[in-house]
Amino acid sequence: MENFLVRLPEIVIQLLAFAFALSVHESAHGWMAERLGDPTARWLGRITLNPIKHVDPVGTVLFPLMLAVLNAPVIGWAKPVPFVTRNLRNPRRDPALVGLAGPVSNLLLAVAAVALLLLAKGAMPGFRDLLVTLLREGALGAGGVAAPLVYLLFSLAMVNVVLAVFNLIPIPPLDGSHVMMALLPPHLRFRYAGLERYGMFILFALLWFGVLGVILRPFVNGLVWILLSP
């Protein structure tokens, strides 16, 4: 309990970064669907950065909170942004573009956060030591005012990289499944779509057996290497 209270500011920053990243991700789905001819997300108020509009009790609250407490990279999911396939200009191709919009938005946010961190790295003496301290100890008070800002930017970069990669896994209902559906021949699409009823169980199993860690670790390590390299 004492360790949890010590890490509470760090956990709050991670969850704030996650809520923002997820709101951008879901809004990007709705925005792309609207651009491709379907205004359903706009009508339902889902093109918004208000995270409350996107909350899924398990995927947006319980799952990421559990990971944050366990000091694992924060991932999760929101309520799916609805779109009507028949309203899209190209019903075969466009669902894949709608699906890709979310991960692409996360990658753009990650690039922006990394760019700001690299600027701070060049301008702030002791940046590398501060980041190492934050990653190892989570000591937000160690660097004065700079520490929470650096940790927030790092959390934004990390959460967005992890969300992008996680959502590209081709397991329904993740975004990668929309891309896979567009690539599969018609006789396999229906069977593949049937996996969605088991999707959450598959994802929990991948987490439990460490497979998600194997998938995500190279990207997490690559991000840390970029920021800590001389």
Query: The dihedral of CA 118, 152, 27, 174: what is its sign?
Result: positive
Total tally of structural domains belonging to the chain: 1
DSSP type of residue 89: S
Query: What mean pLDDT comes out for the span 179-208?
Result: 88
Identify the domain containing residue 119 by its residue range: 2-228
Dist. CA 110–CA 199, nearest whole Å = 26
Q: List the catalytic residue out of 10, 26, 137, 196.
A: 26
Q: What phi, psi does 59 have (nearest 5°)? A: -75, -30
Residue 186 scores a pLDDT above 80? yes
Tell me the pLDDT tens digit for each residue of 144-181. 677 888 889 999 999 999 999 999 999 988 999 999 99
Q: How confident is the model at residue 74 (pLDDT cuts 50, 70, 90)?
A: confident
- Burial-class residue 146 by CB neighbours within 10 Å (0-12, 13-18, 19+): middle
* CA–CA–CA angle 75, 77, 83 (5° rounding): 150
Tell me the pLDDT tens digit for each residue of 109-136. 999 999 999 999 988 888 888 888 887 7
Both tokens assigned to 6 = 């010590």
Query: What mean pLDDT comes out for the span 184-203?
Result: 88
Residue whose pair of structure tokens reads 């990243």 in the numeric block: 21
Residue 71 scores a pLDDT above 90? no
- Our answer to whether residue 137 is catalytic in this structure is no
Query: What mean pLDDT comes out for the span 185-190?
Result: 87
DSSP type of residue 144: T
pLDDT value at residue 123 = 87
pLDDT value at residue 109 = 98
Enumerate the H helices of 124-167 as residue ranges: 127-137, 146-167
